[in-house]
Structure 1
């Protein structure tokens, strides 16, 4: 319809002005040109305050969350809220051991899961969904000596070794770094588990305590007398000279703190 209107106008002007057929054809041709047109596409991101589910420490894909269980078989406590969050940390269970007067080292039970997921190394998990690359630090401290409600287990020492960071395969984000081997000091300060410098550590990351490949199966050492799979990278040293009671379980609290400051600050 548009080309017909232009053509009619051109004929009238051509008759009045004495134009030629060639000028009419030129106007018709310009009306049929295709031309170009540009549009835009975009996306805006905001910090994510939703909790992040625990992931498999050997394949930390947030699209494939897992269901870890505490050593007692119960669901773990939920992680902290985002956008910078501690999503999960394994409990340490050193089992039920016989009293002895010799020095002993006991290993923590490996991380267990619901369903058919096999045990893995113990681990901590952090997610940084702030979107500003400001960096962060995860530390741990032992609040007090193991105690049975009455007496301390004097000289007992918890050690964490072979920390190693793992993240989503193919990520183009600079990974955090692992802390060094540590022995926790009852009542002492934080020791670094995992840290991200400015511009690093965005997304979800885990710090494994050892590796799944190096888990050890202990025969008949579980509470029910069955086999028990342990993580040799998390240990409890108990001196033979310490006074041990069967009255109650010896326990303590470990506090894991995530700071929103870069590791090099």
Structure 2
């Protein structure tokens, strides 16, 4: 009985040694085996992208304006937000005057440059064009015009958190609107540019913005002791044939 047990242990040991020697001779390590991960993107939905901070346009850190206009357009190519331009209350003067729009105020008490925000989540790199117009002159509620008044935008620039290689091709730093005339191009993002969320801001900081949006009013214009207002229309076009 004792001999049989010893013999069996020697046989098992021999088999183990033989297997080990075959692996060492025929195989190399480490071994590699490839798999893959996949994802497919589609154009974005109608959800409106919230306003971003125009000084640091990071979509993960939105801002909350105190007096926003109507909601953004939504869609895969959209105007998300546009500041109101408030020139406050001014004393009537018979001299030529230039008034300045206030910076945009947020609910947390901070002030930001006035701006317009565009988001392109189509995923096609087809390009787009942002224009602006003023359909009518500044008027009172009873249609009395502020004759000769001229709305001017200065220090215009585009900013985004996406790679700078997607910077829109043309960004107009200065715009002068003529009531009733056709759109004035603010930004032209040719094919291959403008992807993601972009802001068109007037001054890169609230301090720079203080004199960036201007309303010139001739001294000879008749001014009633009333509120005047004018609509500013921002127009966004899909421009796939704009190489």
Q: Structure 1 residue 68 and structure 2 residue 46: aligned?
A: no
- 2:131 maps to 139
Q: Structure 1 residue 259 and structure 2 residue 237: aligned?
A: yes
Does structure 2 conserve the Cα–Cα contact (< 8 Å) formed by 1:173 and 1:202? no
**What's the TM-score, normalizing by structure 1?**
0.76
Choose the corresponding residue for 1:127, options 119, 123, 135.
119
Does structure 1 conserve the Cα–Cα contact (< 8 Å) formed by 2:103 and 2:206? no
Q: CA RMSD in A?
A: 2.5
Distance between the aligned counterparts of 1:242 and 1:58, measured in 2? 36
Distance between the aligned counterparts of 2:181 and 2:203, measured in 1? 24
Residue 129 of structure 1: how far off its partner (Å): 0.2
- 2:9 maps to none
Distance between the aligned counterparts of 1:58 and 1:113, measured in 2? 13
Residue 150 of structure 1: how far off its partner (Å): 2.7
**What's the TM-score, normalizing by structure 2?**
0.83
Residue 263 of structure 1: how far off its partner (Å): 8.7
Does structure 2 conserve the Cα–Cα contact (< 8 Å) formed by 1:155 and 1:242? yes
- 2:52 maps to 55
**Unmatched runs of 5 consecutive residues or more in structure 2:** 1-13
Residue 36 of structure 1: how far off its partner (Å): 4.3
Residue 130 of structure 1: how far off its partner (Å): 0.3
User: C-alpha deviations, 1:88-109, integer Å up to 9, x for none?
Assistant: 1111111111111111110001
Q: Structure 1 residue 249 and structure 2 residue 227: aligned?
A: yes
Q: Structure 1 residue 153 and structure 2 residue 131: aligned?
A: no
Residue 68 of structure 1: how far off its partner (Å): 1.4
Q: Where has structure 1 moved over 6 Å in runs of 4 or more?
A: none
User: C-alpha deviations, 1:65-112, integer Å up to 9, x for none?
Assistant: 110122xxxx43211112100011111111111111111110001111
Distance between the aligned counterparts of 2:240 and 2:85, measured in 1? 28
Choose the corresponding residue for 2:217, options 216, 234, 238.
238
Provide the secondary structure at the position in 2 that maps to 1:69.
coil
Distance between the aligned counterparts of 1:146 and 1:243, measured in 2? 12
From the superposition, tell whether residues 263 and 38 of structure 1 become closer, same or farther in structure 2 (CA, over 3 Å).
Answer: closer
Provide the secondary structure at the position in 1 that maps to 2:167.
coil
Provide the secondary structure at the position in 1 that maps to 2:35.
coil
